[in-house]
Structure 1
Amino acid sequence: MANDSFLDRSRTVAGPGYNRWLVPPAALAIHLAIGQAYAFSVFNKPLGSLISGDVNAPASDDWTPTQIGITFSIAIVLLGLSAAIFGKWLERVGPRKAMLASALCFGGGFLIGSLGIHLHNIWLLYFGYGFVGGIGLGIGYISPVSTLIKWFPDRKGVATGMAIMGFGGGAMIGSPLANNLMGYFKDSAPQGVAPTFIVMGLIYLLFMQFGVWTIRVPADDWKPAGYVPSTEHNAMITTANVSADNAIKTPQFWLLWVVLLTNVTAGIGVLETASPLIQETFSDGAMGADRGVTAAAAAGFVGLLSLFNLLGRFFWSSASDKLGRKVTYAIYFGLGILLYALVPTLGHGLQLTLFVAVACVIISMYGGGFATIPAYLSDMFGKYQVGAIHGRLLTAWSTAGVLGPLIVHTLHEHAKEQGLTGAAAYQNVFYTMAGVLVLGLLANLAVRPVKEQYYEKGPVTAETGGH
């Protein structure tokens, strides 16, 4: 039942003549904010030298890189778990209340974390930025998705790509913002980190309010003027609806879970190793004196990958509106297998330009996988509880966030123990990730339309989304 609260879903239903293109900026405001999580590494060295005051000479009491890294891991795990747990609640209460909850948790996580930094209590940092902030990440990540799909049934890939592109671009704002603030506050607090957390928490809390108060949902019977469901790729697009509870009983859900898991695991394999990978592969020893890739050039390579991660989210998800979701993922996996297998050869041959180009294409498909999956879910299960279904599927991301780095570090360390260096030390990483993509390709090929036994019987509305 709707109530009279201004936050209630019933108060966000758009009136006749509302311009649906006002909705993507509201979604973008949320994703640009929470996308800061991708820039957390900018805090690693300052957080590791709060006692010593020297990033190059940490004190014995300073936090270790491993301790600090756990903060980010907690946040990503909580992203997937909270998205899964709160997905049905989100569908019931609507995007405004969910976005406000996300803003309070994400901004509040910074504030709690600042106290942990001030007191040098790692557990408060874990609880603040990791646990509370991670819940804000999960709710914020899925909160605009079902709304956008309902507004853009004719352009699902374009709509979700616009929002999820923001998550990929959040680090491009968050990283320089954090650096500038830490520089400004450096004289008033150790490394300037604690006051930086306070200011960033407040900035993001306020910035996300734009999304909270401008978001609108369409009436249950609304559709774009002249819109007729496309017959193109129609075999894979349902006109029925499947609830979140029934969706997880279908083989299609778990096949798509494997699809997302493998795409993300392989992509993280490149992102996780990007800087050391290019420096070790194209070192002075391999390229000749003073011709190797420097640390500064490697940082530029990482920035370029971030740009392609962002652009790929919009390009590939938009292309999926024309190609169909299954075909688009077949490209991710088929082309990805070839490119991953090619990387070691390019490294051994010292083909730097081609190496960079291939890595950029790989990362564009990694980003595209995130942005295409909500539309794929809507095609398979309908728009009824797609936000909740998407939330449950994001547990694949949490799993990949642990699995990807584990595979990379284990294989790379084993190669170094065998005395391998440069490109040779990473070749098994890329061959293994190509194998991971083979599993994703097979899972995607096995996807078929959902059987009628899982469909909702009778009319459904968003207001009943949690029942």
Structure 2
Amino acid sequence: MASVLDRERTIAPPGFNRWLIPPAALAVHLCIGQVYATSVYKNALVQHFEASNTSIGVVFSIAIVMLGLSAAVCGTWVDRSGPRKAMATSAAFWVSGYLVGALGIATGQLWLLYLGYGVIGGIGLGIGYISPVSTLIKWFPDRPGLATGMAIMGFGGGALVASPLSTRLLGFYDPAYDSAVAGSVPSGSAVAMLFLTFAVVYALFMTYGAATIRVPAAGWVPDGFDPASVQSKALVTTASVSARNAIRTPQFYLLWIVLFCNVTAGIGILEQASPMIQDFFRGADGTSSIAVAAAGGFVGLLSMANMAGRFVWSSTSDVIGRKPIYVVYLGVGLVTYFLLATFGQTSTALFILFAVVILSFYGGGFATVPAYLRDLFGTFQVGAIHGRLLTAWSAAGIVGPLIVNGFLDAEGTPGRLTAEAYRPALLTMVALLAVGFVANLLVRPVSARFHEPAAAPEPEKKGSGQA
């Protein structure tokens, strides 16, 4: 069985169509992208465990921390072992996390939810997130932004499927729960059953992704692509930088800051999305004009923006460059965040517009950063470098929810909050985006002293794949 998962068993035969690879990546990323739909049942967990927003938000934070740490620790192993073994490993951890988490909810043991969904599931998140990225970059050297957009698009779109599905399943498992009624909260047992259902469904889809993934043969390039053409683009190197040397460069840490700031700002909305829109439009009598079902639809809409941003903005970076697109993400993003904080409560349409723009930039930032790394450090160990950079996501997974939930817990009780309670947290995100904006402007080409020694080029194998 182990040999079936080895990298050597996944090398594509001559004539293999490279466009069969994105669906394999999506099969994994759509499953692990469910992490963005946790706000749908957050209030249910708060009520079930009789805990605070911050205590339940820790579950999400642990998962994101473990995502970054496992990606950093396992990045080189993923590059060496190949995507099939990595995807299978990711599936084992992700599904096990759901099973342990379900046990924790059913028995009322919050620590088991932390261990299951947070730690074990978080390891699956990290390995699954990076497993197809370097593979798709190798399949699409002519369009790296498009490639990483396709690889990571599914992660942003996971909540698009999981959010409405969660709402329906929670209603099925708890007949007393009515998503159309504001204030209706499903039972803890319904959330436990939801976790068990996801464990089965995601196991099937992730197994499909692992079974169908392939890597290109050594020296393969798509028809009509000249590797020397990348030399004419700003900040793009044809040299190779190892993961060990990459973390010694100032460029790595500048991008770390850029990713941290962009992710923290996005998580500020995502982790609280469902209750946030209800709170922004809560009247003086304590009732909200936004029903639970509508709030769940809002989470799905944000997922669409997150997913679309990963594909559209990342593909756009192939045309205008990686550094300029981050000027847009961070510069326009901080202006939009400020508008959300000050005018978001005046109109539902404006609130949704601002949130959608911010989440499209959030998704675009994630999808573009592997191509940014490829430009600066080459393709040699880009997967491992990407894994190390995702520690910024780990830090953001702690800081983002702490900022939002800390302010909210200080302002009042969940279910009684208003837009005013969110303003200090949102303005804090504006400041963070300004820091990331400056860090991006400071990025320069990597010094030649960090490059690997040039090796004799391998013969190219043109025409062995579809352009």
Mark yes or no: TM-score above 0.5.
yes
- 2:234 is paired with a residue whose SS is helix
- The answer on whether the counterparts of 1:244 and 1:386 sit within 8 Å (CA) in structure 2 is yes
Distance of 1:358 and 1:134 partners within structure 2? 29
Q: 1 CA distance for matches of 2:52 and 2:279?
A: 24
Distance in 2 (CA, whole Å) between partners of 1:237 and 1:413 is 46
Scaled by the length of structure 2, the TM-score of the pair is 0.85
Which residue of structure 2 aligns with residue 213 of structure 1?
Answer: 211
Letter paired with 1:242: V
**Offset of residue 373 of structure 1:** 0.7
Q: Alpha carbons of 1:233 and 1:213: their partners in 2 closer, same or farther (altered >3 Å)?
A: same
CA distance in 2, matches of 1:245, 1:29: 31
The equivalent of 1:316 in structure 2 is: 313
2:428 maps to amino acid: T
Tell me how far apart the structure 1 counterparts of residues 172 and 421 of structure 2 sit (CA, whole Å).
41
What residue in structure 2 maps to residue 334 of structure 1? 331
Q: Which residue of 2 aligns with 1:270?
A: 269
Q: Determine the C-alpha separation between the residues in 2 that align with 1:277 and 1:206.
A: 33
CA–CA separation in structure 2 for the residues paired with 1:295 and 1:402: 26
CA distance in 1 between counterparts of 2:277 and 2:133 reads 36
- Taking a change above 3 Å as real, the CA distance of residues 38 and 20 of structure 1, as seen in their structure-2 partners, is same
SS of equivalent residue, structure 1 residue 235: coil
Question: Which residue identity does 2:33 align to in structure 1?
Answer: G
Matched, 1:367 2:363: yes
The alpha-carbon distance between structure 1 residues 449 and 362, as it changes in their structure 2 partners (threshold 3 A), is same
What amino acid is the match of 2:429?
M
The one-letter code matched in structure 2 to 1:315 is V
Segment of structure 1 superposing worse, 40-49 or 373-382: 40-49
Deviation, 1:85, is: 0.4
Q: Aligned with 1:405: secondary structure?
A: helix
Q: Deviations over 1:49-72 (max 9, x none)?
A: 6xxxxxxxx5xx766655443332
Q: Is the 1:182–1:191 contact (alpha carbons within 8 Å) kept by the matching residues of 2?
A: no
Q: Of 81, 86, 89, which aligns to 1:98?
A: 86
- Larger displacement relative to structure 2 (233-242 or 401-410): 401-410
Q: Given the alignment of the two structures, is residue 432 of structure 1 paired with residue 428 of structure 2, yes or no?
A: yes
Which deviates the most, 96-105 or 274-283? 274-283
Change (3 A) 1:214 1:442: same
CA distance in 2, matches of 1:422, 1:116: 32
Which residue pairs with 2:395 in the alignment?
399
Q: Is the 8 A contact 2:322 2:372 kept in 1?
A: yes
SS of residue in 1 equivalent to 2:312: helix
Partner of 1:303: 300
1:32-431 to 2 correspondence within 5 Å?
A: 32-47=30-45, 66-184=54-172, 191-229=189-227, 230-231=229-230, 234-275=233-274, 277-284=276-283, 297-347=294-344, 350-411=346-407, 424-431=420-427
Shift of 1:86: 0.3
- Alignment gaps of 5+ in structure 1: 50-57, 463-467
Q: Distance in 2 between matches of 1:48 and 1:362?
A: 27
Amino acid at match of 1:145: V
Q: Which amino acid aligns with 1:431?
A: L
Task: Give the Cα separation in 2 of the matches to 1:447 and 1:306.
Answer: 30
Distance 2:46 2:410 in 1: 28
Matched residue SS, 1:5:
helix
Distance (Å, rounded) in 2 between the aligned partners of 1:453 and 1:301: 49
Work out the CA distance in 2 between the residues paired with 1:410 and 1:65: 9
Q: Does the Cα contact within 8 Å between 1:97 and 1:212 map onto a contact in 2?
A: yes
Q: Secondary structure at the match of 2:221?
A: coil
Pairwise CA distance, 1:134? 1.0
The residue aligned with 1:19 is 17
* Residues 456 and 301 (structure 1), Cα distance of their counterparts in 2 relative to 1, 3 Å cut: same
**C-alpha distance in 2, partners of 1:15/1:164?**
25
Task: Decide whether aligned partners of structure 1 residues 173 and 238 sit closer, same or farther in structure 2, where only a CA change above 3 A counts.
Answer: same
Task: Give the letter for the 1:70 counterpart.
Answer: V
Partner Cα separation in structure 2 for residue 39 and residue 456 of structure 1: 42
Measured in 2, the distance between the counterparts of 1:28 and 1:246 equals 31
After superposition, the Cα gap between the structure-2 partners of 1:332 and 1:192, relative to the gap in structure 1 and judged at 3 Å, is closer
Q: Distance in 2 between matches of 1:8 and 1:387?
A: 17
Alpha-carbon separation, structure 1, partners of 2:360 and 2:395? 21
Distance in structure 1 (CA, Å) of the matches to 2:106 and 2:441: 52
Secondary structure of the corresponding residue to residue 6 of structure 1: helix
Deviations 1:379-405 (A, max 9, x none): 111111111111111111111112123
Contact kept in structure 1, 2:90 and 2:127, CA below 8 Å: yes
Identity rate, percent: 56
* Rounded Cα–Cα distance in structure 1 between residues aligned with 2:153 and 2:56: 27
Please give the per-residue CA displacement for 1:69-95, whole angstroms capped at 9, x wherever unaligned.
333222111111100000001111111
Return the offset for 1:422.
Answer: 5.5
Q: Could you report, residue by residue, the CA deviation over 1:333-378 in whole angstroms, capped at 9, with x for unpaired residues?
A: 1212222233344247x25433432221111101111111111111
CA distance in 2, matches of 1:47, 1:413: 16
Stretches of structure 2 lacking an aligned partner (at least 5 in a row): 176-186, 459-467
Q: Matched residue pairs, number?
A: 443
- Offset of residue 458 of structure 1: 3.6
Aligned mates of 2:120, 2:386 — CA distance in 1: 21
Distance in 2 separating the partners of 1:460 and 1:121:
58
Deviations 1:296-339 (A, max 9, x none): 54444343222211211111111111111001001111212222
CA offset at residue 186 of structure 1? Answer: 5.3
* TM-score between both structures, scaled by the size of structure 1: 0.85
Q: Distance in 1 between matches of 2:290 and 2:73?
A: 45
Aligned to 1:465: none
Contact 1:344 1:427 in 2 (8 A): yes
Residue 434 and residue 85 in structure 1: after superposition, are their counterparts in 2 closer, same or farther (change >3 A)? same
Q: 1:199 to 1:333 in 2, by over 3 A?
A: closer
